[in-house]
Chain A
Amino acid sequence: MVKILLAEDEEVLRMLVMDTLEDEGYDIDEAQDGIEAYRLIEENEYDLVIVDHMMPGMTGLEVIEKVRKLPGRQETKVMMLTAKSQQSDRDCANEIGVDYFISKPFSPLELVKIIGGIVK
């Protein structure tokens, strides 16, 4: 079973993504902020990590930066879901080790397709 972590501080958005992906049969963990997300990634091995950028505690980028330094987490696939959509933000994310960049607002169905492509 494909295991996915969703880190998003906005409850409404978390519900949206959860509802969409659970229907596809993925096993999803939730994190409300950066610190919790980092803890979960440290403890579990996920097929995909979806992070928001603007999160309290630690930003999404900070989480990824730290995660990439963890043993066995260099290859973990990371998707960034963010309201910051400028090219400079994309470049910055790429540099740090974000594999996929989805800007808000996004289409939940499109997201499902992309994730399907990633984890198949």
Chain B
Amino acid sequence: MNFWHTVAAITWKDTISEMRTKEIVSSVLVFTLLVIVIFNFSFGATQQTMKVVAPGILWVTFAFAGVLSLNRLFVPEKEQDCLEGLMVCPVSREAIYTGKMLGSLIFMLVVEVIALPIFTLLFNLPVLSLQIVTITVLATFGFVVVGTLFSAVAINTKAREMVLPILFFPIISPVIISAVKATEISLAGGSWSSLVPWLPMIAAFDAIFFVVSFLIFSYVIEE
């Protein structure tokens, strides 16, 4: 099997097990909806305020949802000792990383595909545009490239649910800043060219951290 076949096999394994248990997607989705509703309570929900705070709400929600789903990424592997199984397989650690990362990306995107229309509906804002979908896909990729690495770190620590956000949030702060700014511009009716400093920023983050995480993942799960 070549590299991408292995990656596809690992991603497919995660997807099948998720389709059977629906553990991550269902719980993260409910969480996402709850956060959106709670934000609605805290900001009074007039149309005027919503325009101002909506980009922030959207990205705080997705960042929290990301942590929640990334926290679960290695839990089944750990509990059933599947990670050892994966590691004795003749596959490279890089393939394990890429496979898990793509699996996580799929789960996050499924949640977001459902959450975005609901967001549009509840907040009466056009967040379901091509621009915002592009921003979401790029930013989510940024979340999962570092998130997968840190999730594998957090799984071997005490208080693992606490460790992931502490590692994750400072590192992804450029993605959050860029995504919020880009969403703001897009909601205000900005053109593609007005998104320029922000979209390339997220794309650069994605590319850089994909390479770095890909290279150092083998040091995380070596035992």
Tell me if chain B binds chain A: no
